[in-house]
Amino acid sequence: MDQLKISRKRLLETIAVSAAIGATANGGLHRLALTEEDRKMREQFITWLKEANLEVRIDDFGNIYGRREGRNADGPAIALGSHLDTQPCGGKYDGVLGVLAALEVVRVLNDNQIETELPIEIINFTNEEGARFTPPMLASGGLANEFTKDYIYSRKDENGITFKEALENIGFLGEEKNRIRHVKHFIELHIEQGPILEKENKTIGIVKGIQGNNWVTVKVIGQTNHAGPTPMEHRKDALVPAAKMIIKINELTKEIDGLKTTVGKVYVKPNVTNVIPGEVEFSVDIRHEDNELRMYALERMKEQLSTIALLHDVEMDMTTDWHSDTVEFSPAVIQSIKNAADKLNYSSMELFSGPGHDAKYMASIAETGMIFIPSINGISHNEEELSLDSDIEKGANVLLQVVLDLAKALSKKQIGA
């Protein structure tokens, strides 16, 4: 079975059909979750699943499954997939690749009459992007009980339409009993959405997990006063120490290897030309794959910011708004991906994912792993998002080998052929 390969032509043609549903003038895709475009894509996807003789199910979150039975019908499934929704004016690969490459893998198994010991399920997750309904990864989070059904159903888009209404409107409100339950592994092929593979000149990214992060709000409180009469030495300007803090937060990444910090939002009060700012609030996004180092970085940041506040005689308050620990993927899946890349003679490297993916939540119900392929210039969530055809082919070939391994492909002898 070593020579078994996916069909590059067929996979690219399938991706091209998807790329036409919600296409933008600049070559991107605008296919928000549960819209008319998403409905069209879902119908097309189901047609493909049925053509591949898969049994189709839709669950209460609108997730679509296509199941290929294994010899052991009661055995746990090997699940593959990602999402067909996109950002507004997003790219045509993002999650689409993971879903359609999974379909291609099953087509190859069918063409070659390969039986597997364990059943295989392809999944298209609803609303991964979070562009129409926040937060992202809503439906995989639902499967993992990260969000309750009531919470998911009550999420509203900007026009006040709830998630449940949107599901009903496009005819994709399925049943709870259709959710995937008995699942051993989940594997997601995805574009990297970052520049590392391209920079390191590697084709296959073996994803070790998803980087954790903390969102913190920092408030600096000084005193508002008139810009004219107040002497410099009598001011409690909140913005000057805040500016120093922002620089310190950026410099902290030089102290701790692998740390990423971003200040993305700043509010100045009262934000008036001739008034000394009395209050500044800014956000910090802080990421590191090592949970302990990330917590250490937060402590260090607090110390440094407190010192700056003290020197400027202002108050400083730091609150954590949200945090998500690093999710580590299954060693068995990581090993299987590595073996596949080696066997196919593709260059590979291990790395962590910066962004979240459905795999993050699937990791709590299945032994999970992800395969990355390079994104040209690290660009994604953009119409210019691009991955090379040759890398798409290689990523899908790795996925095929991993499925043959984990779903336990039976040899011709075992089948009795």
User: Which segments are annotated as binding site for Zn(2+)?
Assistant: 83, 94, 129, 190, 381
Shortest distance (Å) from residue 357 CB to Zn ion: 6
Determine the 3-state secondary structure of 69 from DSSP.
Answer: coil
Q: In this structure, are residues 120 and 407 in contact, taking their beta carbons and an 8 Å threshold?
A: yes
Shortest distance (Å) from residue 415 CB to Zn ion: 36
Residue 325, token pair as written in the block: 């620990």
Residue 54, token pair as written in the block: 């898969």
Cα separation, 48 vs 84, whole angstroms: 14
Q: What angle do CA 372, 324, 336 make, to 5 degrees?
A: 30
Name the residue nearer to Zn ion (CB basis): 92 or 202: 92
CA 120, 121, 122, 123 torsion: positive or negative? Answer: negative
Q: How many residues does the chain have?
A: 417
CA 403, 407, 410, 411 torsion: positive or negative? Answer: positive
Shortest distance (Å) from residue 20 CB to Zn ion: 19
Shortest distance (Å) from residue 365 CB to Zn ion: 19
Tell me the three-class secondary structure of 260-313, residue by residue. EEECCCEEEECCCCCEECCEEEEEEEEEECCHHHHHHHHHHHHHHHHHHHHHCC
Name the residue nearer to Zn ion (CB basis): 282 or 372: 372
Nearest residue to Zn ion, by Cβ distance, number only = 95
Shortest distance (Å) from residue 95 CB to Zn ion: 4
Name the residue nearer to Zn ion (CB basis): 326 or 353: 353
Q: For residue 355, give the DSSP letter.
A: S
Q: In this structure, are residues 229 and 121 in contact, taking their beta carbons and an 8 Å threshold?
A: no
Q: For residue 233, give the DSSP letter.
A: G
Cα separation, 26 vs 70, whole angstroms: 43
Name the residue nearer to Zn ion (CB basis): 81 or 95: 95
Cα separation, 366 vs 118, whole angstroms: 14
- Enclosing H/E stretch for 318: strand 315-324
Name the residue nearer to Zn ion (CB basis): 95 or 194: 95
Shortest distance (Å) from residue 210 CB to Zn ion: 12
- Residues at the contact surface with Zn ion, assessed by CB under 5 A: 94-95
Name the residue nearer to Zn ion (CB basis): 141 or 278: 141
Shortest distance (Å) from residue 96 CB to Zn ion: 9
Shortest distance (Å) from residue 128 CB to Zn ion: 6
Residue 242, token pair as written in the block: 């805040």
In the annotated binding site, the residues are 83, 94, 129, 190, 381
Q: In this structure, are residues 376 and 198 in contact, taking their beta carbons and an 8 Å threshold?
A: yes
Name the residue nearer to Zn ion (CB basis): 210 or 242: 210
Measure the N-to-C terminal CA separation of the chain; round to a whole number of Å.
Answer: 14
